[in-house]
């Protein structure tokens, strides 16, 4: 018998499963796909910008007070210390898994990492392989790309970094250092660099072009399964600090993060059923009894005591919409907070700093992270929700995507482990 079924295998779903399994719950994950973590930069963004802030956020945990005052229903406002706990648990877990993460040298500050277009990207925790890119460090940068790799342009990055006062130069190396195939998929290049001989060739070429005192920025392709060894060996060989810059999806750091979390869940006995699109459910009174997935052309019922919804927002597939302006939650058809009509969904500028109202749509929850309706009443006694499905935050705009996912997953999972009547 399963205690808790988690619907969704993104960062929120995986972390909720981890939290519940460690608390002794029998957990199963049912998900349509692999989750959106493969598309992320692999960093943990907690807060970078928000519309009412005067300036970019330098100390996210300090800024939360101001954010939640300005936006009382924000998911961060519902947490009783769960963000700190979640971040600490996450750091410990990743250390254990051999994919250590860390924050800025000055504890509590945001990191400012070079983006693949050379902007300074605010994030709170980053995998070790990205840390030396922090733009608060002074060493000049050598950004190195590979000829023909369509997802990484070192000259563009270096030019924009230099314009912002971070000295950087660029170089291109031949792609055949890494692969004989005319292949520019970053995930495959990363897998190729799992092989020591290939990294040695790349290392020799880097050593040749680096100047004393420089740090080297590379596309995030330094190993997939053997990432830790690959990164350490390459750095030792070159003799200069290395850092990876995440690339267009599929993002190798995102894949590494998902793989690590899933391995740990397997060790904890959590079953993960992918390719199981939830198509229906059955409730008796205010309790969900089972959900039904559509897998391999046959319906399959999944029963559990409790259900935790982590299907994501519009990007993850937890929310869908149509041309009439109807917006719905895709599993339980839960009440949603949405702009009143399609005329209110967007603003005229793509980069409007206030964001587009539709992306704040989502499920409203109480402090127990249980979905509620417009009157504030709990919809189901045994359903919890976490992650970007939650209303009142545009986490891509805020650069709070992973922070919201981890913190709400931790909080919702704890609440589900110890349900209140």
Partner 1 sequence: MKRIETDILVMGGGATGTGIAWDAALRGLRVVLVEKRDLTHGTTGRYHGLLHSGGRYAVKDPPSAAECIAENRILRRTHAHCIEDTGGFFVVTPEDDNDYPDQFYAACQRLGIPCEEISVAAALKREPLMNPQARRVFVVPDGAADSFQATHSTAQAAQRAGATILTYHEVKQLLVEGGEGNRRVVGARVRDVARGEDVEIRAAMTINATGAWAGVVAQTAGVRVDVIPGKGTMLAVNHRIINTVLNRCKMPDDGDIIVPIHTVSVLGTTDERVQDPENLTIEPWEVELLLREGEKLIPGVSRARFVRAWAGVRPLYQEHYNGASRDATRDLTLLDHQTRDGVAGFLTIIGGKWTTFRLMAQVTMDKACEYLNNCKPCLTATTPVPGVEQGHYWLGHRLREVEEHHLQNELVCECELVTRAMLENAARNNPTLTLDDLRRDVRLGMGPCQGGFCTYRAVGILHQLKDEGRRTNDEGEVWEVAAMQSPAHNLASLSAPSSTLVFGLPSSVLLRDFLQERWKGLLPILWGRQLKQERLDELIYLALMNADHLPDQNVSSPMSDFYSRPGVSTTADQPPATDGGGAR
Sheet containing 27-30, strands listed edge to edge, beginning at the edge strand earlier in sequence: 271-273, 27-30, 4-7, 306-309, 383-385
In the bound state with partner 1, the residue whose beta carbon lies nearer, of 290 and 346, is 346
Closest CA to 47 of 402, 419, 418, 417: 402
CB of 404 to partner 1, least distance (A): 12
CB of 271 to partner 1, least distance (A): 27
Query: Residue 400 to residues 308, 309, 404, 406: CA-CA distances in angstroms?
Result: 21, 19, 6, 10
For residue 75, the 8-state DSSP code is G
Window 50-79: contact mask with partner 1 (x via CB under 8 A): -x----x----------------x------
Alpha-carbon span 381 to 368, nearest angstrom: 11
Quick check: 179 binds partner 1 (CB under 8 A)? Answer: no
Window 123-152: contact mask with partner 1 (x via CB under 8 A): -------------------------x-xxx
In the bound state with partner 1, the residue whose beta carbon lies nearer, of 131 and 398, is 398
CB of 267 to partner 1, least distance (A): 30
User: Binder to partner 1 among 22, 249, 273, 290 (CB under 8 A)?
Assistant: 249
Q: How many CB atoms lie within 10 A of CB 92?
A: 12
316-327 burial, b if ≥16 CB within 10 A, otherwise e? bbbbebeeeeeb
CB of 197 to partner 1, least distance (A): 23
Q: Which of residues 312-371 bind partner 1 (CB under 8 A)?
A: 313-315, 317, 320-323, 325, 327-328, 335-340, 342-351, 353-354, 356-361, 364
In the bound state with partner 1, the residue whose beta carbon lies nearer, of 71 and 293, is 71
Residue ranges of the alpha helices (H) in 37-176?
Answer: 60-70, 82-96, 128-131, 154-163
Length of the chain: 421
Q: Which of residues 369-408 bind partner 1 (CB under 8 A)?
A: 372-374, 391-392, 396-397, 399, 401
CB of 43 to partner 1, least distance (A): 9
Q: Under 8 Å CB-to-CB from 305, ≥6 apart: which residues?
A: 1, 2, 3, 4, 382
User: Binder to partner 1 among 92, 105, 117, 268 (CB under 8 A)?
Assistant: 117
In the bound state with partner 1, the residue whose beta carbon lies nearer, of 301 and 326, is 326
Q: Give me 215's structure tokens.
A: 């740090």
Alpha-carbon span 284 to 263, nearest angstrom: 35
CB distance 9 to 361 below 8 Å: no
CB of 345 to partner 1, least distance (A): 7
User: Binder to partner 1 among 22, 59, 155, 271 (CB under 8 A)?
Assistant: 155
Quick check: 38 binds partner 1 (CB under 8 A)? Answer: no
- Count the residues of the shown chain that bind partner 1, applying the rule CB under 8 A: 80
Q: Which of residues 191-210 bind partner 1 (CB under 8 A)?
A: none
CB of 321 to partner 1, least distance (A): 5
CB of 220 to partner 1, least distance (A): 11
Quick check: 35 binds partner 1 (CB under 8 A)? Answer: no
Alpha-carbon span 369 to 372, nearest angstrom: 9
Tokens 């989502």 -> residue: 362
CB distance 329 to 322 below 8 Å: no
The piece of 2-10, 81-89, 153-161, 223-231 that touches partner 1 (CB under 8 A) is: 153-161
């Amino acid at each position: 018998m399963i205690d808790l079924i988690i619907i969704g295998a993104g960062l929120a779903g995986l972390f909720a499963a981890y939290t519940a399994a460690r608390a002794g719950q029998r957990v199963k994950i049912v998900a349509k796909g692999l989750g959106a973590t493969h598309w992320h930069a692999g960093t943990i963004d907690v807060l970078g910008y928000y519309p009412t802030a005067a300036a970019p956020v330098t100390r996210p945990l300090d800024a939360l007070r101001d954010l939640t005052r300005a936006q009382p229903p924000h998911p961060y406002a519902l947490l009783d210390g769960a963000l700190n706990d979640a971040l600490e648990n996450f750091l410990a877990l990743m250390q254990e898994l051999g994919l250590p993460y860390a924050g800025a040298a000055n504890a509590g500050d945001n990191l400012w990492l070079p983006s693949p277009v050379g902007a300074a990207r605010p994030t709170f925790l980053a995998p070790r392989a990205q840390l030396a890119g922090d733009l608060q460090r002074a060493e000049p940068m050598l950004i190195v790309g590979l000829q023909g790799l369509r997802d990484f342009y070192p000259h563009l990055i270096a030019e924009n970094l230099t314009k912002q006062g971070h000295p950087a130069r660029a170089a291109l190396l031949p792609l055949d250092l890494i692969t004989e195939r005319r292949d520019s998929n970053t995930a495959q290049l990363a897998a190729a660099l799992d092989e020591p001989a290939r990294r040695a060739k790349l290392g020799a070429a880097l050593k040749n072009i680096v100047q004393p005192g420089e740090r080297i920025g590379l596309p995030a392709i330094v190993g997939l399964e053997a990432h830790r060894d690959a990164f350490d060996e390459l750095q030792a060989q070159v003799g200069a600090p290395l850092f990876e810059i995440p690339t267009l999806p599929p993002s190798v750091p995102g894949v590494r993060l998902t793989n690590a979390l899933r391995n740990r869940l397997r060790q904890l006995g959590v079953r993960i059923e992918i390719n199981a699109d939830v198509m229906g459910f059955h409730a008796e009174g205010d309790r969900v009894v089972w959900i039904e997935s559509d897998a391999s052309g046959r319906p399959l019922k999944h029963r559990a005591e409790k259900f935790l919804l982590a299907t994501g927002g519009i990007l993850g597939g937890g929310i869908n919409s149509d041309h009439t302006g109807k917006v719905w939650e895709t599993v339980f058809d839960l009440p949603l907070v949405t702009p009143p009509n399609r005329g209110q969904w967007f603003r005229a500028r793509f980069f409007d700093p206030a964001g587009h109202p539709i992306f704040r749509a989502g499920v409203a929850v109480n402090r127990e992270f249980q979905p509620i309706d417009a009157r504030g009443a709990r919809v189901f006694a045994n359903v919890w929700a976490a992650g970007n499905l939650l209303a009142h935050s545009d986490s891509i705009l805020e650069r709070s995507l992973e922070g919201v996912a981890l913190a709400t997953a931790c909080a919702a999972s704890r609440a589900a482990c110890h349900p209140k009547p």
